[in-house]
Amino acid sequence: MQPELLAWLIPLPPILAFFLIILWAYRNNRLSHTIALGSMLISWGLAMALFWVAIRAEDLGHHPIVSSIPWLPTGETSLNFGILIDPLSAVTLFFVAWTCLAIFLYSVGYHNFGKRRDPDDQPGLPPKAGGVEPMYARFFAFISLFAFGMLTLVVSDNLLLLFIGWEIMGLCSYLLIGFWYGKPSARDAMVKAFITTRIGDVLMLLGLAYLYSVTGTLNFRAILFDEQVLHTLAETPSIIGGLSTAGLIGILLFLGTVGKSAQWPLHVWLPDAMEGPTPVSAMIHAATMVSAGVYLVLRFFPLLTAGWHEGASLTPSMLVIAGIGAFTALFAATIAVTQVDIKRVLAYSTISQLGYMVAAVGIGAFVAGAFHLITHAFFKALLFLGSGSVIHGMEHGVRHTHEHVDAQDMFNMGGLRRKMPITFWTFLIGGFALSGFPLVTAGFWSKDEILADAYGHGYLLVFIILALAALLTAFYTMRQISLTFLGQPRTDAAKHAHESVWTMTLPLVVLAFFAVGIGWVGIPEQFPLLGGVLPNWLHEFVGGTLIEHPQALDFNPIPLLVSVGVALGGLLSGWLVYRRVSAGVPDPLQRWLGPIYTVLKNKYYFDELYHFLFVRPAYWFAETFTYRWIDRGLIDGFLHGVGRTAMRIGSFLRNAIDLPIINGLADRFGEGVKWLGRTFRVVQTGRVQEYLIIGLVFTGLLLSYLLLAQP
């Protein structure tokens, strides 16, 4: 099978699964998850085959796997609809397929498949007593649709198709965050997520339209692989003074990313998105959706960096990106330090890691950004699934000892490593990868490469901010690990937690393997000792996406030392601080930081700010202006007027015309028909043969007339 066909086929199985489950299979849980898993397995297999083809291909960057068919004829040109597999999309496909598969399998166990359905669970609420999820099949349908969106986005060869996948994912995140729509918090979260990302999407759509109006195409190759298209874009000034067209489009598209991968200031939705089931969190925050944002930025790297070359000063758009990325990294990290909900910590760490990637792109470190995207996808999916497993265990404990504690609050946990060893070890690996534990973990290599790029190209400010963020990352990761797993159980629930089923632990193990191993494909050459043991395959391969291959910058010990330092320092301090936190004791940081702690704990009051700035005015607008004035006053008034006049006309017609004339005629006609019937009913003797005779007579008459009339 030729690779184009493979690429075409990859997104199809999940959408088929979606329709199959929604339309037919939804009554049968086993059938539903079999269909979903099977379809994902098929896509996974196709993706792996394609990935294999891709890495064997000769100079894939300049001769990618493309095929396209005309879709929307627009005037003389026509929007095509096709697939593009170049190194970037190949590696993205790789980790998307793996993580999606892991998450699908995990969901089976997470939703208590095989348990009896608890009679007092109703749809829309999480199962209380550990029965199987009431809307099990629906979950798999949604998540299949989600996977379809992501795969479409990855294999698409033009911005429009990418945008379609993007929006499908937006819809699915809405549906899945609010999967337990019985909970008001979930409802709010879904609305929040949807609207917040919508803002970014609208701006991105603007950028898309602008790009199309300028270049007349949306195909990636046509725009990003064409020197003078990029050149003209970079040269021509845009409608906003001081920005080149490329810059403006870049910023607009980047705002889409800001919404999708939750960069400041549109980061608010992501922590609330934790209301959804944990596989969804993993799906959104690690595997697919937020990665999609970064993927977009990476995809449009040539456009963003149009008119910039290595070593030159950053273009305005790059400045914006780098600034927002770096700021978000630090900002989210600071918030994450103070959170107590195990999933929220991860959420904020996701935001900050995404900030890393964005910052990396901003400073032109394309390969580093891609590298961190991949590694982060793996270890963050691992962490989320691990946290889900922890929560699962805790919920079991809570059910067992009927004490009312929040099963997600890390301060209620502790000492779980004995209860759930697999989860603990995998979580530990994931956490170390996140905090960049030197040499072994994947996170170290990618993060180190970003730092190295930042330092090597002399963006010191970015470098420092990212280093700080890395420090904090290591700190809160260790804080989380030690609060959750180390020390003594702080509640009976934690005492009675237990390990999860294999369907949940197996994905953890698989992902843990990648969380460690995936880093080794990107070790820089001149790295002491290790360098050159494994060739820096990733740099060669992914770098090939760009027109001219970015040269790997030469080794520099300072960023390495820094990153090792911050990682180990953060981990150590986190461990020291949270090693033994006994039950009921408040967070030690609260003592040291005081008011700052409160500010951080309340996430810099961003939710309140937005609520004041946007939500309340929007409510006012809807309530007073739209509803009262426009709807009630104008439209309803007009309609009522129309109604009254119509009634007057109608009554006139009825009394003057209908009753006397028409009804009269009709009645008289009816009477006539009655009379006819009464007269001629004697024909109906009820004897078939007489009917036949009558029929014959008339037929004979007719025939004889017909025959004799014509001479």
Partner 1 sequence: MTVTQLVFLLTGGVTLGAALMVVLSPRLVHAALWLILSLAGTAVLFVLLEAGFLAVVQVAIYIDAIAILIIIVIMLTRRVMIRGETQITRNWWLGALSALILFGGLLILLDMVPIIAIDTPPPIADADQLLEDLGRSLVDVDRFILPFEVASIMLLAALIGSIMIAWPLTTRAEGEGDQ
Partner 2 sequence: MIPLSWYLVLAAGIFCVGLYGALARRNALAILMGIELMLNGVNLNLVAFWRYLTPNFITGQVFVLIVLAVAASEAAVGLALIISIYRRRSTVVAEEINMLKW
Report if residue 685 touches partner 2, rule: CB under 8 A: yes
Select 582 or 679, whichever has its Cβ closest to partner 2: 679
Token pair of 497, please? 């937690």
- Residue 486 token pair: 């180390």
* Binding partner at 681 among partner 2, partner 1, none, C-beta below 5 to 8 Å by kind: partner 2
Q: How far apart are CA 248 and CA 306, in angstroms?
A: 11
Q: Tell me, what amino acid is at 315?
A: T
689 is an interface residue for partner 2 by CB under 8 A: yes
Query: Whole-angstrom Cα distance, residue 221 to residue 484?
Result: 48
Give which of 458, 339, 314 is closest to 406, Cα–Cα: 339
Cα(597)–Cα(168) distance, integer angstroms: 38
**Under rule CB under 8 A, residue 692 binds partner 2:** yes
Q: Which residues contact 554 (CB under 8 A, 6 or more apart)?
A: 456, 526
Residue 309 in contact with partner 2, rule: CB under 8 A: no
| 449-457, 537-545, 593-601, 693-701 -> range binding partner 1 (CB under 8 A) | 693-701
By CB under 8 A, the count of residues binding partner 2 is 11
- The residue (of 236 and 704) whose beta carbon lies closer to partner 1 is 704
CB 707 to partner 1: min, Å: 7
Verify binding: residue 702, partner 1, rule CB under 8 A. Answer: no
- Is residue 385 helix, strand or coil? helix
- Name the DSSP class of 77: E
Tell whether residue 618 is a contact of partner 1 (CB under 8 A). no
Q: How far apart are CA 635 and CA 640, in angstroms?
A: 9
Among 227, 310, 658, 690, binds partner 1 (CB under 8 A): 690
Q: Which of 197, 161, 193 is nearest to 280 (CA)?
A: 193
Choose between 122 and 704: whose C-beta lies nearer to partner 1: 704
Smallest distance, partner 2 to C-beta of residue 680, A: 10
- Considering CB distances under 5 to 8 angstroms, the limit depending on partner class, which of partner 2, partner 1, none binds residue 547? none
* Residue 691 binds partner 1 (CB under 8 A): no
Site string for partner 1, 652-681 (x = CB under 8 A): ------------------------------
Q: Does 682 bind partner 1 (CB under 8 A)?
A: no
707 binds, among partner 1, partner 2, none (CB under 5 to 8 A by kind): partner 1
Radius of gyration of the chain measured on its C-alpha atoms: 33
Q: What is the dihedral of CA 165, 170, 176, 181, to 10 degrees?
A: -150
Site for partner 2 contains 572 (CB under 8 A): no
Binder among 651, 663, 684, 704 for partner 2 (CB under 8 A): 684
Decide: is 689 part of the binding site for partner 1 (CB under 8 A): yes
Q: Which of residues 238-257 bind partner 2 (CB under 8 A)?
A: none
**By CB under 8 A, residue 700 contacts partner 1:** yes
- Per-residue H/E/C for 45-83: HHHHHHHHHHHHCCCCCCCCEEEEEEEEEECCEEEEEEE
Residue from the set 572, 657, 676, 697 that interacts with partner 1 by CB under 8 A: 697
Among 73, 241, 311, 686, binds partner 2 (CB under 8 A): 686
Give Cα separations from 506 to 109, 124, 136 (angstroms).
10, 28, 20
CB-based contact 85:165 (threshold 8 Å): no
684 binds, among partner 1, partner 2, none (CB under 5 to 8 A by kind): partner 2
Rounded CA separation 9/704 (Å): 72
For partner 1, the closer of residues 421 and 700 by Cβ is 700
Least Å distance between CB 693 and partner 1? Answer: 5
Instruction: Say what the alpha-carbon torsion angle 349, 355, 360, 366 is, to the nearest 10 degrees.
Output: 90
Half-sphere exposure of 520 (CA within 13 A, CB side): 9
Distance (Å, whole) CA 159 – CA 168:
14
Q: Which stretch binds partner 2 (CB under 8 A): 28-36, 442-450, 528-536, 689-697?
A: 689-697
Q: Compute the distance between CA of residue 18 and CA of residue 294 in angstroms, rounded to an integer.
A: 26
557 binds partner 2 (CB under 8 A): no
Start-to-end CA distance of the chain, whole Å, equals 78
Residues in the site for partner 1, rule: CB under 8 A?
687, 689-690, 693, 696-697, 700, 703-704, 707
Residues in the site for partner 2, rule: CB under 8 A?
681-682, 684-689, 692-693, 696
